[in-house]
Amino acid sequence: MSQDGAPEKKPPSAPGLPVGYRQGVITAITVMLAFSLYFLRFWNFEAPGAWNSLSVVAAGLIVIAILIQLVALWRSLQIADEREPVYRRTLQWFLAGIVAVLLGVMVASLAYA
């Protein structure tokens, strides 16, 4: 309460995310990250065949995708990710990681064929 007895007004805050949005994106990032790590492990260490230049490109793309997904996960765990502009940027990082994984898997399939 202020000195004159009126309740103090709080400054309007930026609207936050609806409940469940952050949890959902964190789950999606971890699922995609787990797939990427598993695919890289299987394809690099367990799949038969010799390496060629396409194999190296595919492995590089998948490693870059994993790093991008780790950045997206780190951003999604920050308190600032509750604000919509920061959340949107995190989703952009995540989308970039998904695209990089898809490109890596497509190049890997060409290298393995």
What are the residue boundaries of the structural domains of the chain, listed by start? Answer: 21-112
pTM, entire model = 0.80
| Distance (Å) of CA 103 to CA 16, 36, 91 | 34, 12, 18
pLDDT digits (tens, 9 = 90+) for 52-85: 899 899 999 999 999 999 999 999 988 888 888 8
Higher confidence at residue 25 or residue 10? 25
Give the dihedral of Cα atoms 16, 20, 23, 28; nearest 10 deg: -110
pLDDT, position 3: 66
Higher confidence at residue 8 or residue 90? 90
Q: Which two tokens stand for residue 21?
A: 């949005």
